[in-house]
Structure formats: C-alpha cells, structure tokens
Amino acid sequence: MMAFVEKKLPADAPVVDKALNWVDSRFPLTKLWNDQWGQYYAPKNFNFWYIFGSLAMLVLVIQIVTGIFLVMHYKPDATLAFASVEYIMRDVPWGWLVRYMHSTGASAFFIIIYLHMTRALLYGSYRKPRELIWLFGFAIFLCLMAEAFFGYLLPWGQMSYWGAQVIVNLFGAIPFIGPDLSLWIRGDYVVSDATLNRFFAFHVIAIPLVLLGLVAAHLIALHEVGSNNPDGIEVKENLGSDGHPLDSVPSHPYYTFHDIFGVTVFLVIFSAVVFFAPEMGGYFLEYNNFIPADSLKTPPHIAPTWYFTPFYSILRATTTEFMYVVMAGIVAYVGLIFMTTKLPSKIKMAIAGIALLALAGMMPGALDAKFWGVVLFGSSVMILGALPWLDQSPVKSIRYRPQWHKYVLIVFGICFVALGYLGVQAPSPEKERVSQVCTVIYFGFFLLMPWWSAMGTFKPVPKRVTFSAH
C-alpha cells in the first residue's frame, strides 16, 4: 500500500500552484489532463477535417446545459407540454434563446457527426487498429438517434405527435411480436401521456448517461491507439529519442488553438442560425410543430426531422415492385460471393441458406413490403458498424487510392444527401423512383466494398507523414 505523499512547494509559491498540488496529491487531475490532452501527442499533419471531434464535444455540452434549463420549466404532461414550451418561449427570461439553442444544437450535432464520419471514410480512421474506436463512435451515433427521437415528441406539436405515431407503428410490421412491441413502446394503444412520460425519462436521464459513458470510452480508446491522420500512417512506428513519435506534436498548445479557431467559426455560424433562422426554412423546426398535437387531425405530409430522412427514404422506397429489385440483388450478390471469394464451403452454404429464407419471405403472399421496408431501414443504419471489415483496401487514406475511388465516395455522398432531401418531401411516383435508385447505390456502396475497395492501382504510401508548415 502506497503512503500518502504531498509535494513540497516553496513557501512563496503562488496560491494556484499550492491548490493544484493539494488536489494532485489526492486526485490525479494534472495526470489526467496530461494523459488525455496536455501531453497527448497527435500527428502534426491534421487538417480542418479533424476539428469536428472537438466540435461534437462542444455541442454535447451545449445540449446538456440548455437541456437542464429547459427541464426546469417543461411539463411532461400531454395536457401541459405544448403550453409549457410556449411559456418557455414567451415568458421565461431568455427562454426563447435557450430553446432555440437546444433545437438548433440538435441539427448541428448531426451535421457535425455526419462530417466526422465523412472524415473517417476519407482517411480510413476505422481501419486496424481503430476498429473499437469506430464501434464506440457508431454506438454514440445510435444513441444520438434514440435521443433525438425521444426528444422530438416532447414539444407535443402536430409533427412531434404524428411523427412518433408513424415511427412507433413501424415496429408493428415485425411478425408475431410487432403489435405487442409497439404497444409496449407507447405504453398505450396510441401515442398519449404515457408515451410522453417514458420518452421524457429516456431523453433526460437514460440515454444521456449511456451517451456520456460511450463518449468517455470513445476517447479512451482513441488515446490508447493514437489518432489517425490524412496520410493513414501510424506515427507510433517512428519514435524519437524522447519516446514520442517524430511526426507528432503535443495537443496543447498546438491543437488547442487549432480547435479554438474551429470553435470560433462554428459559434459564429451557430449564432447566426439561432438568431436569424432557427427554423431553417422548416428543416430544423417544422411549421406544423408550432400547432398543438391533435389526434383527430392528421398533417397532409408526415416526415421525421431531416437527420433521419436518409434512412426514412429507404423505408418509403421499399414498395411491392421494388421487392423484385431487392430479390434480384440478393441472387446476384450470393452468386458474386460464390464465384469470387475463397470462403469455406460451410460459410457459403450458410449465406445461401439465409438468402433462400429471405427470398421465400419476399415472395408474393409472404411477408409484405412494409416489413421489408423496416428491415432495410434498420439495415441501412446497422451496416455502418461493419465498415472496418468491409473495407479491404491495402491503404487507409483516399490520398493513395485510385482516383476513381474518390468518385465512388462522391456518388455515395450525393445519393445520401438526395435520400435526405427526398425524405422531407411529399411522396410522388418520380421521387419514389429516385429514392429507389439511391437506395440501390447506398447498399451497393457498402455491400460491394470488399471488391471495389481493393481494385485499381494504389499509390505508394510514404514512410513519414507529408506536412508543410502554414
């Protein structure tokens, strides 16, 4: 057992140093700061794509702080919820600002997370040895989706009410357990006060606790294996005489000021939206949500918030006709696996068996298209978690991949944005066709990645990172 030791300081030492020494002898505050940031060495060639992790932390703090102030005045009661939000907006001093910061922060959070994930796609930040970092990040993304979904009902406006009704009813498409599962989630036969109370509990307490734990795990895993960089080179393989990587610099002060600049730019944009366009043309706050929830009046067009709509479009694109395209795709994909891979026969047969069961369920008269829409909806999210094992490229960074790989990423990005836009629009036959094409491209990007990511002529990767001082 170690004895208690307190560092001796000169009698004339500053009061701050004495206080810090007192804390450090009882709690490793300085050690934690140095390990996690102060003396954490990061690659010296970071670019602007590496700002979004810090921005995500900033927005998380904004959401927690503004959420605390909103909870002080919000009433989780079906008869009082909408009025309490109006009270916050009109009567609570600066309540309108807190509410708009929270609602804008939700959209800002997803914009930053999507850009953060784009960075990972560009530079292979999910590749070995960072698979666990990606999985923690993916779990954070799922928690954010759950947090946003539960919070979306709380204003108790028309779109909140009917959006929750539609999403919860999707679970009813699951065979056998679907109706009971939907009833269990709602706590009633329709979205009601019971639903509001349980969604409030999850939004305010349960999900944030899980989210904070996953963020801590994400950061610990990141600092254990080290950060990736735009070249995709492991800087730990070239150590200096001091034991630190030659191509890295201390995060403080170098990336402290790098991130402060990014935070400043973000806060300018964030403030402009909060003060001048908090609804963002109905994308951040739908106009129907300024109308109290009415279970007897259905809005003409029900859609979730924009950050869910890429996946919601895939759900809407799954029609009875589209199922024939899905069936043809399954047959072609299984044939591709059999002809081009060297997987063990048992695994190939298992894949073929699963495919046959799926095809049988897609036949006319079997499971309806609504069920398969829910399956594709869920699969479009969950497939992101498999990215570290789908990418078979011999290099990590897009800088050293064939030129046409960039165009594959661009086409994927365009399709993802198109799905998001189509999801907030009223359905039509033309938009449905475009959504179906984009859905095929979306799944093709991931399912064919083991093949296309390894194709082409790759550029030689340098031994040291490429860097030029600003």
- The answer to whether 377 and 171 have CB atoms below 8 angstroms apart is no
Whole-number Å distance between alpha carbons of 290 and 212? 31
Q: Which helix (H) or strand (E) holds 316?
A: helix 309-317
Q: Which of 128, 154, 159, 149 is nearest to 73 (CA)?
A: 154
Whole-number Å distance between alpha carbons of 128 and 427? 42
**Which own/partner contact pairs does 255-261 have at CB distance under 8 Å and 24+ positions apart?**
255/42, 255/46, 256/37, 258/46, 258/50, 258/51, 259/51, 259/54
What is the SS3 string spanning 166-230? HHHHHHHHCCCCHHHHHHHHHCCCCCCHHHHHHHHHHHHHHHHHHHHHHHHHHHHHHHHHCCCCC
DSSP code at position 38:
I
Cβ neighbourhood burial of 138 (10 Å; 0-12, 13-18, 19+): buried
Q: For the residues of 126-159, what is the DSSP string, one character each?
A: TSTT-HHHHHHHHHHHHHHHHHHHHHHHTT-BHH
39: helix, strand or coil: coil
Provide the sign of the torsion angle of the four alpha carbons 68, 72, 76, 78, taken in this order.
negative
315: helix, strand or coil: helix
Task: Encode burial over 407-440: b for 16+ CB neighbours within 10 A, e otherwise.
Answer: ebeeebeebbebbbbbbbeeeeeebbebbbebbb
Structure tokens at 387: 């990215």
**Residue 301, annotated as binding a ligand:** no
- If one counts every other C-beta atom within 10 angstroms of the C-beta of residue 195, the result is 21
Whole-number Å distance between alpha carbons of 73 and 98? 11
Q: Which of 373, 2, 5, 22 is nearest to 172 (CA)?
A: 373
Distance (Å) of CA 393 to CA 121, 124, 259: 12, 9, 31
- The answer to whether 366 and 360 have CB atoms below 8 angstroms apart is yes
**Residue 252, annotated as binding a ligand:** no
Distant-in-sequence, close-in-space partners of 33: CB < 8 Å, separation ≥ 6:
none
**Residue 258, annotated as binding a ligand:** no
Whole-number Å distance between alpha carbons of 171 and 32? 44
Q: Which residues line the annotated binding site?
A: 102, 116, 203, 218, 223
Residue stretches of the annotated binding site for a ubiquinone: 223
Going by the annotation, the residues of the binding site for heme b are: 102, 116, 203, 218
